Amino acid sequence: MQRNIVEKLPKVELHCHLDGSIQPHTLKKLADAQGIDLPDDPKKLKKLLTVPKDCQSLLEYLTKFDPVLPLLQTESALEIAAFDLIEQVARENVRYIEVRFAPSLSTRKGLTLTQVVQAVLKGLSEGEKQFGVKSNALLCGMRHHTIEKNVAVAKTAHDFAEKGVAGVDLAGDEAHYPPELFEEMLKKASEWHIPITLHAGECGCAHNIRESIRLGATRIGHGIALENDPELLSKCAKEQILLELCPTSNLQTKAVKHPEDYPFLTFLKAGVPICINTDNRTVSGTTLTDEYLKLGEWYGLNYATLEQLNHYAVDGAFLLEREKELLHRELVAGYEPFVN
Ligand SMILES: O=c1[nH]cnc2c1ncn2[C@H]1C[C@H](O)[C@@H](CO)O1
Ligand SMILES: [Zn+2]
């Protein structure tokens, strides 16, 4: 596969965190405007914002959000951040993206959840106008937050249903906060008919995937631990539970130790739908094009398989059927010259 071709192919991305995906130079601008100190030197800035090669765990990975969150406490900063992400993904022809973030992490200076969400949606919509990239937001509850806080996030998703918010998620420290703890929040989300995707199986525990599905998730973020549970693997294939894989991030957090252990082919062969994502463009130091090329290198993938993975993403996307139909058609047209 060639980089210049892969870059131009139409793509769908379902697992991308806003706060982990803002370009360093944009973060620097936000910091300067707010009188917050960030390094001037691009190399130092990158080092501060991107995980090192020897990152050992998800918890270490999550520390890279510490310098970013203080910058995302105003409506203007949130709007600029969302626009910045759409500008980036437009460069690699992402046709549809679900952008996730935790609104409760942007309330330090008094913004309400509603104001946070409105500001992000404004940036996404400006991005759509300027670059033609369709998007929806997903609201993340945080695993270390109280149940009340996370129920309030689900309620906000409900308020913005069909107005730019397409679903909810749970992010953060999976190992210490398993999905069972969030039953109340997820029950409410289900009652309100909010689509659910949950980070699960990123920390070696297949049980968390099973529980996430029981609690209403129709998609799983990462899901790496599924490889350890053949029965659950069959269930996911049968129920077409989409796994949102993020290869670079999975290696950085040590969800997978070595590229040769990556369960990509295991999932594909088992008939579990999978799609490829960046997770965090800045924190992981990657793009969707990089992720596709990496898989190409590891498995000798061809363009037809890339197309298939994107169709899986569309099938699992939190969109209306007619919107999915349009995306499927765009994919067929875009890959047609490269598949036979
Ligand atoms: O891969 C991840 N696993 C769990 N939590 C994550 C991951 N990437 C980002 N987060 C957290 C940190 C962010 O502040 C939060 C909302 O985007 O989600
Ligand atoms: Zn994630």
CATH topology of domain 3-338: TIM Barrel (3.20.20)
What backbone phi and psi angles, to 5 degrees, belong to 119? Answer: -65, -45
Q: What's the confidence (pLDDT) of residue 204?
A: 81
pLDDT single digits (tens) 202-242: 988 999 999 999 999 999 999 999 999 999 999 999 999 99
Q: What is the ipTM of this complex?
A: 0.99
Q: Does residue 62 have its Cβ closer than 6 Å to ligand 1?
A: yes
The residue to which tokens 């409900």 are assigned: 158
The residue to which tokens 């330090």 are assigned: 108
Q: Does residue 199 have its Cβ closer than 6 Å to ligand 1?
A: yes
| Residues catalogued as catalytic | 202
Q: Does residue 279 have its Cβ closer than 6 Å to ligand 1?
A: yes
Distance 250 CA to ligand 2 centre (A): 10
Q: Does residue 291 have its Cβ closer than 6 Å to ligand 1?
A: no
Mutating to test ligand 1, I would choose from 13, 59, 61 the residue with most ligand atoms within 8 A of its C-beta, which is 61
Block means of pLDDT (10 residues each) for the chain, length 340 residues? 97 98 98 97 97 95 98 98 98 98 98 98 98 98 97 98 98 96 98 98 94 98 97 98 98 95 96 98 98 95 96 98 98 95
Q: What's the confidence (pLDDT) of residue 51?
A: 98
Q: What's the confidence (pLDDT) of residue 265?
A: 96
Measure CA of the first residue to CA of the last residue in the chain; give whole Å. Answer: 15
Q: Measured from the CA of 172, which atom of ligand 1 is nearest? A: 5
What does the DSSP 8-state code read for residue 109? T
Q: How far is CA 328 from CA 131, 159, 333, in A?
A: 20, 29, 9
Return the HEC string of 6-23: HHHCCEEEEEEECCCCCC
Q: Which residues fall within 8 angstroms of residue 322, CB to CB, at 6 or more apart?
A: none
Distance 338 CA to ligand 2 centre (A): 30
* Nearest in space to 222 (alpha carbons), one of 41, 15, 32: 15
Domain ranges of the chain: 3-338
Give per-residue burial for 165-191: e unless 16+ CB within 10 Å, then b. bbbbbbbbebeebbbeebeebbebbee
pLDDT single digits (tens) 62-95: 999 999 999 999 999 999 999 999 999 999 999 9
Distance 17 CA to ligand 2 centre (A): 6
Q: Measured from the CA of 100, which atom of ligand 1 is nearest? A: 17
Cβ atoms of 278 and 256 within 8 Å: the answer is no
Q: How far apart are CA 201 and CA 203, in angstroms?
A: 5
Q: Does residue 19 have its Cβ closer than 6 Å to ligand 1?
A: yes
Distance 171 CA to ligand 1 centre (A): 5
